[in-house]
Every structure is written in C-alpha cells, then in structure tokens.
Amino acid sequence: MTTEWRKSSRSSSQGNGDCVEARASEGSFEVRDSKLGDDSPIFGVRVEDFQSLLRAAR
C-alpha cells in the first residue's frame, strides 16, 4: 500500500516552501522534491535509513 505524499508542516515557515515530501510504499519510503511535485525523481529509502534521517533532523 502506498500512502499520500506528506510534507513537513515547517516547510513553509521560512517563506520559501522548499522541502522534500515522503510517503510509505510497500515496506519502504519514497522521497521527492516538493518544488518539482510530479516531475520530481522519486528516491526509494529503506525504513531503517529513513528512521535515521528523521532522528538526525531532530
């Protein structure tokens, strides 16, 4: 099952809206550039790597 794209609630707090979007997909995550939307390349990320990314971002 693939979920909807989600963007950080803080992505527009800087006024530029530059951010990445992520969604769960078939036991992993997908990440794309929110500025490009559907034209953005989509990168597959393992669950463990995505969790590490979130920990580092905090």
Q: Hey, where are the domains in the chain?
A: 18-57
Closest to 28 measured CA to CA, from 4, 1, 53: 1
* Range from 6-10, 16-20, 24-28, 43-47 carrying the lowest mean pLDDT: 16-20
pLDDT in tens, 11-41: 665 556 678 899 999 899 999 988 888 999 9
Global pTM value: 0.76
Closest to 22 measured CA to CA, from 2, 13, 39, 14: 2
CA atoms within 13 A on the CB side of 11: 13
Ranges assigned E (strand) in 1-58: 6-7, 20-25, 28-33, 43-45
Beta bridge mates, 22: 6, 31
